[in-house]
Amino acid sequence: MTEKPEDPSVSLFREYIKVESVQPNPDYDGCVRFLSAQAEIMDLPYQVVECVAGKPIFVMTWVGTEPDLPSVLLNSHTDVVPVFPEHWTHPPFSAFKDKQGNIYGRGTQDMKCVGIQHMEAIRRLKNAGKRLKRTIHLSYVPDEEIGGHDGMQKFVHTQDFKKLNIGFGLDEGIAVPGDTIPVFYGERNVFWIRIMCPGSPGHGSRFLENNAAIKAQYMINKLLEYRAKEKARLESDPNLTLGDVTTVNLNIMSGGVQTNVVPDKFELTFDIRITPTTNIAEFEKMIRDWMAEAGEGLELTFIQKFVDQTLTPTNPDDPWFSALSAGINKHNLKTKNEIFPAGTDSRYLREVGIPAIGFSPMPNTPTLLHDHDEFLNENIFLKGIDVFTDIIQNLGNV
Ligand code: ZN
C-alpha cells in the first residue's frame, strides 16, 4: 500500500513550525530566511523593516492592477510562546504528524498556520493566472506574544507602514472545538494596574490606624466584587462570550517585611480586561473613587493601558465585511461575530483607523493556543487555504 504524498503546503507549514521562533529568544533570522526564500520562489517583492534592531517585520507584496487603491493586509506574527517540553507527547518543534494527520508543534494554531495559509492562497491565485485589483501585503511581525510593542505597535506609526496604504486588515482568530468559527471585530481594553496602599508601620501587637492592609482589603473587596458581578452576568446569558464582559484578576500581592512588623505598604497588581462597550473614563474614575474611599495616599500605576475602543464594522453593507462574508459563505461555514477576549495585533491596526478582522478558520479543533500538545489537523489546515483563497480574492476586488 502506498501512502498519498504529502501536500506541499503541509510540508511548508511543517517546515515553518521547525523554525524555533520561541519567546524569549525567537529565531527571527530563521523566520526571515524561511520567508524570503518563499517570496523569491513566488517572485514577490519583499522588504524587511526593523523598528527595533533584531525584531524584523517581513512584508511581501503582490501588486494589484489598480495599485493606487487602498491595499489589503494579511498579518500574522512569527513568534510563539514558550514550551514545557516534558509535557509534550511529541517534541514541540518537530512538527510531528500522526496517522490521523494531526500536526503537533508550538505555533500550529497560534499562528503559523494562518501565516502559511495566507501565503499559499496567494500562491494559488497567482499560479491560476489571477490578478486582483488591489495590492495585497503579507506581513509577518515579531513579538506579538509579548505585547507587540517592538513589532506592530511601532510599525503602524512608521512611514514604511503608511506607504503600504492599507484599507483593510486580516489577523488572527482562534481554534474552536465546535463548528462555529468566531469572527473577531474588536478586542477588550487591557488595564494592567498596580495599586500601592501605604500605611503607618509599627509593632505587630497593636491596632494601628492608617493601616496598609485595611486599604488593600478595601481595594481587593471592591475589585473582586466587580469580578463576581461580571462573572454572574456572563453565566446568566448564554448569548454572551468572554469578550462581552470585563474580567478582573488579582495576580500579584506584595509587601511586608517580617511577621511582627506592620508594613509601610502593600502593592496589588491586577490584570483587567474591559469589554469595549464600557465607558473607559468612567471605569477608571470608579477605581480612583474606590482608592479615595480606601484611605489616604493610595497610588495607581498603569503597567499597560489600552484605551482605543474602535470596533470594525460588521454590517452587511460594509464593502470589506461583505467581501469577507461572501468568501466564508461560499464554503458553508458557520461563524459568529465576537469580541476577542485577549489582545492581538489587530488592536494597533484599529487604533490607526484601519478596519481589521481576526479570523483563523480552525473549526472542530480543541483550543490549544499556548497549551501543551498544540496541534492542527492537516485537512483543517488545507481547507483553510481554500477559504482564504476565496476571501482574499473577494477582498482584493472590493
Ligand atoms: Zn497569536
Nearest Cα residue to 387 out of 356, 354, 350, 362:
362
Which segments within the chain are labelled E, that is strand?
Answer: 46-50, 56-62, 71-77, 102-104, 136-141, 166-171, 180-187, 189-198, 202-203, 247-255, 261-262, 265-274, 299-305, 334-340, 356-358, 375-377
Q: Is the peptide bond before 24 cis (omega within 30 degrees of 0)?
A: yes
Task: Give pLDDT, residue 362.
Answer: 98
Residue 173 and residue 320 in one domain: yes
User: Could you confirm whether 209 is annotated as catalytic?
Assistant: no
Residue 218 and residue 343 in one domain: no
How much distance in Å is there from the Cα of 246 to the middle of ligand 1? Answer: 21
How much distance in Å is there from the Cα of 211 to the middle of ligand 1? Answer: 43
Say which amino acid occupies 28.
Y
Task: Give pLDDT, residue 299.
Answer: 98
Set 79, 120, 145, 171: catalytic member: 79
Contact 163, 350 (CB under 8 A): no
Alpha-carbon dihedral sign for residues 35, 122, 171, 381: negative
Set 110, 120, 143, 144: catalytic member: 144
CATH assignment of the domain containing 296 = 3.30.70.360
Q: Which of 305, 322, 353 is the last residue of a domain?
A: 305
Mind listing the pLDDT tens digit for each residue in 342-358?
A: 889 999 999 999 999 99
Residues 6+ apart with CB under 8 A from 41: none
Residue 385 and residue 245 in one domain: no
How much distance in Å is there from the Cα of 108 to the middle of ligand 1? Answer: 10
DSSP letter for 244, please.
G
Tell me whether strands 166-171 and 71-77 are parallel, antiparallel or unpaired. Answer: parallel
User: Could you confirm whether 345 is annotated as catalytic?
Assistant: no
How much distance in Å is there from the Cα of 369 to the middle of ligand 1? Answer: 8
In a domain, 3, yes or no: no
Residue 261 and residue 177 in one domain: no
Residue 149 and residue 223 in one domain: no
The number of distinct structural domains making up the chain is 2
How much distance in Å is there from the Cα of 176 to the middle of ligand 1? Answer: 14
Residue 382 to residue 364: CA distance in whole angstroms:
14
Q: Model pTM?
A: 0.92
How much distance in Å is there from the Cα of 114 to the middle of ligand 1? Answer: 10
CATH assignment of the domain containing 172 = 3.40.630.10
In a domain, 131, yes or no: yes
Question: Stretch 271-299: mean pLDDT, rounded?
Answer: 97
Task: Give pLDDT, residue 4.
Answer: 80
Residue 265 and residue 171 in one domain: no
Domain ranges, residue 214: 189-275+277-305
Residue 202 and residue 183 in one domain: no
Mind listing the pLDDT tens digit for each residue in 139-176?
A: 999 999 999 999 999 999 999 999 999 999 999 999 99
Quick one: which H or E segment has residue 363? none
Question: Stretch 313-321: mean pLDDT, rounded?
Answer: 97
Residue 333 and residue 266 in one domain: no
Residue 172 and residue 235 in one domain: no
Residue 64 and residue 203 in one domain: no
Residue 105 and residue 148 in one domain: yes
- Kindly tell me if the per-residue pLDDT of 283 is higher than 90: yes
- Kindly tell me if the per-residue pLDDT of 71 is higher than 90: yes
Tell me the CA distances in angstroms from 381 to 180, 191, 195, 384, one per residue in order: 16, 34, 45, 5
Residue that is written with C-alpha cell 468559527 in the block:
181
Residue 102 and residue 172 in one domain: yes
Q: What is the mean pLDDT of the chain?
A: 97
